């Protein structure tokens, strides 16, 4: 049994859009490539056929994963998100105590993470270290470059 995936309504909409694109655009395109490769004759030594079949297998695996994620999605009710402690869907301002660098991250589900938009996955070391902490708390978080102390400056509702 697959565990529930907690996600925002926006994130679920994106997953459904990805699935729709795979089912209605990518799958027919790969089927067409396979058909064209078969028309060229002997498929036992046809590299185009092999490549198209490989692409089909990878696409079908992605489709199965997305269908599972959507089936097990649980929408996060943002009206119930609080800001007294850090939790998923919070926008958290933290300060690196060593160099005073200030960063702002929104903690989101694994499927919605986007570093360019400052959205970090709830399963990242930084997010894990911040969860359940309050404004003013200093947490030491193990990152690839070592242990860094971060002070929580602010917690607010994320977008």
The predicted-structure confidence for 69-91, as pLDDT tens digits, reads as follows 899 888 887 777 788 899 888 99
In the chain, where do the E strands start and end? Answer: 5-7, 73-75, 90-96, 102-108, 119-121, 138-143, 146-157
Q: What is the pLDDT of residues 87-143, one digit of tens each?
A: 888 999 999 999 999 999 999 988 888 889 999 998 899 999 999 999 999 999 988
Q: Are 75 and 8 in contact (CB under 8 A)?
A: yes
pLDDT value of position 11: 84
Residue 40: Cβ within 10 Å count: 10
Q: What are the two backbone dihedrals, phi and then psi, of residue 95, each rounded to the nearest 5 degrees?
A: -120, 130
Residue ranges of the domains in the chain?
5-75, 78-157
Angle between helices 27-39 and 47-71 (to 10 degrees): 160
Q: C-alpha angle 109/13/77, rounded to 5°?
A: 55
102-108 and 90-96 strand pairing? antiparallel
Could you tell me which CATH number the domain at 5-75 has?
A: 1.10.287.180
| CATH level 2 (architecture), domain 78-157 | Roll (3.10)
**pLDDT band, residue 145 (cuts 50/70/90):** confident
> Widest CA span of the chain, in angstroms?
70
Residue pointed to by tokens 């939790």: 87
């Amino acid at each position: 049994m697959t565990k529930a995936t907690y996600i925002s309504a926006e994130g679920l909409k994106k997953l459904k859009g990805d699935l729709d694109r795979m089912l209605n655009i990518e799958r027919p395109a790969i089927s067409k490539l396979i058909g064209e490769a078969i028309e060229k004759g002997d498929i036992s030594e046809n590299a185009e056929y092999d490549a198209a079949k490989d692409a089909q297998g990878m696409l079908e695996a992605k489709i199965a994963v997305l269908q599972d994620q959507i089936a097990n999605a649980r929408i996060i009710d943002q009206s119930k998100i609080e800001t007294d402690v850090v939790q998923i869907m919070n926008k958290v301002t933290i300060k690196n105590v060593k160099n005073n660098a200030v960063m702002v991250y929104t903690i989101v589900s694994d499927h919605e993470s986007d570093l360019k938009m400052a959205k970090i996955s709830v399963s990242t070391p930084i997010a894990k270290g911040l969860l359940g902490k309050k404004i003013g708390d200093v947490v030491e978080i193990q990152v690839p470059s070592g242990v860094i102390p971060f002070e929580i400056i602010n917690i607010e509702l994320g977008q």
